[in-house]
Amino acid sequence: MSVPIDLHCHSTMSDGLLSPEDLVAHAASKGVRVLALTDHDEVSGLARAHAAAEQHGIALINGVEISVTWKKRTLHVVGLRVDVENSALLMAFQQVREAREVRAREIADGLAKAGIAGAYEGAKEIAGNSVMTRSHFAQFMVKHGHAKNIKTVFKKYMVKGKPGYVNHEWMSLEQALQLIRDSGGVAVLAHPGRYDLGFVNMHLLLHEFRNLGGAAIEVVTGSHQPPQYEQFAKLAHRFDLKASQGSDYHGPGLSFMEMGRLPALPSGCVPVWQDWPEASQLQ
Ligand code: AMP
Ligand code: MN
Ligand code: MN
Ligand code: MN
């Protein structure tokens, strides 16, 4: 049976389309009972999300999705139950935010060379005060007719080898796990099936992640195809890691999966929420 828990989603504080309040309301309307808001490198939406969660009678878990560079690849690590007042965490995110600004200028320079002017200003207008992400550039490009949808923009402009791609150095896996651990959180490797790592590197990654104190991997996520649920359930078991689930919802039209539609974790998985008081009623 599926459990109404969603431990990965985004608000307007990063690249989601819904405000923290609207996102929580949406989750509640779809039957979610325990929700983690996990904005990219950003925790400033959590206070607002907590207030909304109280109104809607759902449990809100502190979360964040941290970008990491591992073996020249970008990986995402979700930190759950972090202390959002932890100064090392806040300082690190401030640095990431500044680096994302520099990167955004570089992305815009790349796009300008490909004949697309005004991308920084355009993406900034969409991002407002949020951290600048490739999603904001993608939305700008669709709005101005450079591609028919977000998926096509990414393929044509925003991935490795394309004019709007910048080889950015994020924090190390070790640093991200230390930040999560030191702020009292648990580290979850986000959507491992998206990294295209191959057998050897995936095993190396999971081994290293476990050794650095990682707790779980996402098994059921909007970023996995159904056959990958079993594949990563097996790997979680092999590496003695718990399993997590989350929609990775970014808002209407910007998501692979709607909220409240997550299938159950495959049998044999140990849920990352197993000891959480918020989830005790739901299992
Ligand atoms: P950034 O952290 O700035 O590199 O932006 C990454 C975000 O872009 C991801 O979290 C997704 O929301 C979005 N994204 C990445 N690849 C794609 C894709 N192929 N299609 C749609 N959105 C994508
Ligand atoms: Mn995103
Ligand atoms: Mn991600
Ligand atoms: Mn995400």
- 127-161 tens-digit pLDDT: 999 999 999 999 999 999 999 999 999 999 999 99
- Residue 69: the pLDDT is 98
- Residue 16: the pLDDT is 97
- Residue 223: the pLDDT is 95
Per-residue pLDDT tens for 223-244? Answer: 999 999 999 999 999 999 999 9
Whether the predicted pLDDT of 276 surpasses 90: yes
Whether the predicted pLDDT of 1 surpasses 80: no
Instruction: Tell me the C-alpha distance between 280 and 15, whole Å.
Output: 31
Q: Which residues have CB under 8 Å from 178's CB, separation 6+?
A: 212
DSSP-H helix ranges across 72-171: 87-113, 119-127, 134-143, 150-153
- Of ligand 1's listed atoms, the one at least distance from the Cα of 150 is 21
Question: Which residues contact ligand 1 via a Cβ below 6 A?
Answer: 15, 40, 67, 133-135, 150-151, 154, 250
Other Cβ atoms less than 10 A from the Cβ of 68: the count is 19
Per-residue pLDDT tens for 39-93? Answer: 999 999 999 999 999 999 999 999 999 999 999 999 999 999 999 999 999 999 9
The reply to whether the predicted model has a pTM over 0.95 is yes
- List the residue whose alpha carbon is closest to atom 16 of ligand 1: 154
Per-residue pLDDT tens for 188-219? Answer: 999 999 999 999 999 999 999 999 999 999 99
Q: Judge whether 131 and 14 are in contact, CB under 8 Å.
A: yes
- Residue 233: the pLDDT is 98
- Residue 256: the pLDDT is 84
- Residue from 154, 166, 169 whose mutation best tests the ligand 1 pocket (most atoms within 8 A of CB): 154
